[in-house]
Amino acid sequence: MIGIFDSGVGGLTVVKEVKKKLPGYDLIYFGDTARVPYGNKSAELIKQYALEDAQFLLSRGAKLIIVACNTASAVALDYLRANISVPVFGVIQPALQAALEMTQNNRVGVIGTRATVNSGAFQKCLLALQGPDNSIDNRDVQKPAFMRKRSVKNHSLIKKTKLFFQAAPLLVPLIEENYLDRPETARILKHYLQPLKAEQIDTLILGCTHYPIIQSLIEKKLKQVKVINSAERVSQELKDFLGHNQSIDRSLAKRREARFFVSDLTPHLTDIAKQFLGQRINLEVVEL
């Protein structure tokens, strides 16, 4: 069973992409809706929450885990890999690699929560890529011993790549309140994107799994900028991994079953979940 967790229901965008890339695989999802958002929490608390989320998924039969939360991926990924024994995938490295492969002017923007932006995780990953070896060795970047090396574009170009960050703390609550077509959302989004436009980025990483919901709005405001959906990229990373690790792939049930758990269920959460996943689902409440 593939386990996926997020601080809320934004990680359902990852579920959606995994279902596209790996149809038929059993999935279990946990959204920590009682403690969302993680983006304004301390690093130690984020690590504690992430470990509790992962342990819940393991207790329900998960054989590998996707951290479908950029904040937890940025702050707690190494901590999780040191404390649980199954493969753990984060959403930062796949998105950054995609951006490096797509950028033409080596100016890449990232929007995310404050915790993601302040974590230094993207910079750490980029610095590892800017080393002497013209490949990504994930053990140097994020220490997952199970991942294979991947080739990247010309090393001299990687060395020239610059990252530009913008914290966007208001976007998650606006998305979860379904304020997608409100003028205030458009104004706030313009405010967040303007500094990145001024830096003349040609590629933007959506550093939160909520943001694919407003990807079309972002693309309208950043014409000619390529937008990277981290949910799509980590799903491809998982598919590649399973293709090279047949024993793990064989251990995963493929009965097309999926269960969805949350730590708190509010009246409108089911509607929000449908918005993220594209279908109505049964949300089960569980206390960690």
- Give the length of the chain: 288
- The full set of domain ranges for the chain reads 2-90+232-285, 92-230
Within this chain, domains 2-90+232-285 and 92-230 share the same CATH topology: yes
What's the whole-number mean pLDDT along residues 172-192?
90
pLDDT in the model for residue 151? 43
Digit-coded pLDDT (tens) for 208-255: 988 999 999 999 999 999 999 999 999 999 999 999 999 999 999 999
Digit-coded pLDDT (tens) for 76-131: 999 999 999 999 999 998 999 899 989 999 999 999 988 889 888 899 888 877 76
What's the whole-number mean pLDDT along residues 13-25?
95
Is 125 an annotated catalytic residue?
A: no
Higher pLDDT, 140 or 5: 5
pLDDT in the model for residue 255? 96
Count other C-beta atoms under 10 Å from residue 267's C-beta: 6
Digit-coded pLDDT (tens) for 58-78: 999 999 999 999 889 988 999
Is 69 an annotated catalytic residue?
A: yes
Higher pLDDT, 177 or 189: 189
pLDDT in the model for residue 275? 85
> What are the Cα distances from residue 103, in Å, to 46, 70, 162, 226, 261?
31, 21, 11, 8, 37
Per annotation, catalytic residue among 54, 69, 201, 242:
69
The CATH architecture of the domain made up of 2-90+232-285 is: 3-Layer(aba) Sandwich (3.40)
Per annotation, catalytic residue among 65, 100, 208, 227:
208
Digit-coded pLDDT (tens) for 125-170: 888 777 655 443 333 333 333 333 344 455 556 778 999 999 999 9
Please state the pTM of the whole predicted model: 0.85
Which residue in 160, 79, 72, 163 sits closest to 119, CA to CA? 72
pLDDT in the model for residue 39? 79
Range in 16-20, 168-172, 238-242, 261-265 with the lowest mean pLDDT: 168-172
User: Domain 92-230: which topology?
Assistant: Rossmann fold (3.40.50)
pLDDT in the model for residue 157? 62
**Per-residue tokens: 167:** 């914290």
